[in-house]
Structure formats: C-alpha cells, structure tokens
Amino acid sequence: MPYLLRRLITSLLVVLGVITITFAVARIVPSDPASLYAGPRARPAQVEQVRADLNLDAPITTQYTSYLGDLAQGDLGISFASKRPIFDDIVDLFPATLELALLATLVSMLLGIPLGVIAASRRNRPRDGGLRLFAMASVSVPVFWAALLLQLFLASRLGWLPLSGRTSPDVLFDETTGFFLIDSALSGSIGNVWDVVRHLILPVTVMAAYPTGLTLRLIRGSMIDVLNEPYIEAARLAGIAERTVLYRLALKNALAPALTILGLTFAYSISSAFLVEVVFNWPGIGSYLTNAIVRLDFPVITAAALVVTVVYVMVNLLLDLVHAKIDPRVVLS
C-alpha cells in the first residue's frame, strides 16, 4: 500500500508539472492569444471582449487556478482554429493514434522478444551478430526518413501498399469505436478489413522499428545473465530440451525487465506518431498537434501535451504495479 501511494503521488506530481510548464509556455511566447482567437480581421473592441471572455485579463495566478479547475472538470479549452471544444476533437482523433501505438507496441514485443532469445542463445555467433546489426540499424534510422523510404519504394514505385490515409476513398463503414480494425471487422466485409490492414502496414512498421531493436537488445542482455545461472546449467545437465530451457525456464525470469521497456515502447509509439502521422497523412492527434503548432493554436498544443503525458503516466503506473506484483523486491526498494 505505501508503494502504491508513493507511485500515485509521483504520477500526480509529474502531471501537475507538465500542466504548469505548458500553461507557462503558452503565456510566455510572443503572441496574443486573444488576437489569435478573434482572428486577423477582428476590431480592437472585439479582441478586448475575447480577452475578457477567456479570462486573459485576470492575474496570472487567477488564470492558473481557473485553468486547473477547468481541467478537473474535463474542460480542455476551445481551439482557436476550429472554435470547437478541444476535448471533442481529441475524442474523435485519439483512437487513430492509439490504434497505431498499440499495434506498433504489439509488433515490437512479438518480434523483439523471440529475436532477443535467439540472439542470446547464439551468443557471439553469426546469427547473433546479424540480429545485433539489425537492432542497431532499427534504433538508428530516423522515423521520418524510414517513413519516406518505405513510401518511395513500397508505395510509389512498387505500388504494393497505399501511400497514405487510413482507408481507400471507396471503402465505407460505420466508425463505431474509432479503431478501424475493429470497425471494419464489425462491417462484416473481408475487403474492408484487408484495406484497413494494408493502410496500417507502413506506419506500424515505421513506428515498431525502434522499439523492436530496443526490446531485442534488452531481452538479449537479460537472457545472457539468466542463462549463466546455476539452475539453467542444472536443467541442461538433466537433459531438458533446449527450447524448454530457453522459453519456459530462462525467458520467464528474463521478462521482468521487459515490463519497463514496454512502457517506454508505448510512450515512444505515442510520441513518434506525431512524425508518422504527418508523413502518412494519418488523421490522429499527431496531425492535429502539427496543425495547431503551425497556426499557433496554444490551447490545442497544451491539451495534446497534457493528454500524451497522462497516457504515458498511466501506462507506466500500471506497469510498475504489475512489476511489483511479479517481483516483491520492487515494493521493498
């Protein structure tokens, strides 16, 4: 219980710190939010009215407490560009980003963990060298560069996969959940599902490259340590099959550190989505934030940063609790 309380307090402090920083930055930058909201053709009287309506003429401490009160009620503000509640925009767009992030995390775990086991079991052999080279390349190539290369060769030149977007223009189905894999499956059409999958392959591949290499290297190092343990040697001397030794005895103990990398992987997938969505014209939070930065739409910028922070903190809090459940030593540390 003290561990849970300590982690909750730490998480709340992180969120509060991000709220404070984004609030301060939005008021330090050299621009007038009231003028941006009113528009370029607004008269001075209209600008002043907007300033009063947005509470921008109040003392900074009053603005801050009012901002915290609005956030506590789920009010993220109004977009300067669309004049719509930001909360509504994020509810509409976040499933697209979350779908990419979840799939990229899943792919990186499904590939990185077994490849890490193979590399560790073939330590200092050609296969291990090849996998380490792959891991190094995957964590070194910039996301936007990999996205452009895949678009150039697989989409533009070979025509194997779509260039951008979430679906083809002629594919229609009800957006019940916002997750197109689920929605296309609910439509009952194999063609719809295949079209969604084809549009997902390139962005998910790009987003999963770095986490896959990172997971591979972490699992390899952790497996090497575990494989040197006496009980592994005893299991091998007892004639237990090597596959059983690797995947049932060693991997179980080597997976604990992977919980940490899982949180980092998901956080990376969320953050890298901003670049990936721009390149692939993916209608998610990344594109929404990019447009907000271009238009100096500060409420959207601060709200998007806050949403990403909250998601990151919640995921890491959940993983910390799972880690503590698996390894009781964490609670005592």
Range of 55-64, 101-110, 267-276, 302-311 with top mean pLDDT: 101-110
Q: What is the pLDDT of residue 196?
A: 93
Q: What is the pLDDT of residue 80?
A: 76
How much of the chain exceeds pLDDT 90, in percent?
9
Mean pLDDT of the chain: 82
By the 10 Å C-beta count (0-12 exposed, 13-18 middle, 19+ buried), 84 is classed as exposed
Q: Which amino acid is at 49?
A: Q
pLDDT tens track for 18-34: 888 878 877 776 566 66
How far apart CA 115 and CA 118 sit, in angstroms, is 5
Pair of tokens at residue 94: 């976040």
Helix (H, G, I), strand (E, B) or coil at 85: strand
In this prediction, residue 178 has a pLDDT band, given cuts at 50, 70 and 90, of: confident
In this prediction, residue 143 has a pLDDT band, given cuts at 50, 70 and 90, of: confident
pLDDT tens track for 72-81: 888 888 887 7
pLDDT (average), residues 142-163: 88
Q: What is the pLDDT of residue 202?
A: 93
Q: What is the pLDDT of residue 122?
A: 84
- pLDDT at position 292 over 90: no
pLDDT (average), residues 316-324: 74
Q: How many CB atoms lie within 10 A of CB 172?
A: 11
Q: What is the pLDDT of residue 328?
A: 62
- pLDDT at position 69 over 70: yes
In this prediction, residue 232 has a pLDDT band, given cuts at 50, 70 and 90, of: confident
**252-256 CB contacts, 8 Å cutoff, 24+ apart:** 253/226, 253/229, 254/117, 254/219, 254/222, 254/223, 254/225, 254/226, 255/113, 255/219, 255/222, 256/222, 256/323, 256/326, 256/327
pLDDT tens track for 298-311: 788 888 888 888 88
Tell which residue, 213, 211, 208, 203, has the closest CA to residue 276. Answer: 203
Q: What is the pLDDT of residue 258?
A: 66
Q: How many CB atoms lie within 10 A of CB 322?
A: 14
- pLDDT at position 319 over 80: no
Residue written as token pair 């990376």: 268
How far apart CA 133 and CA 112 sit, in angstroms, is 13
How far apart CA 9 and CA 6 sit, in angstroms, is 5
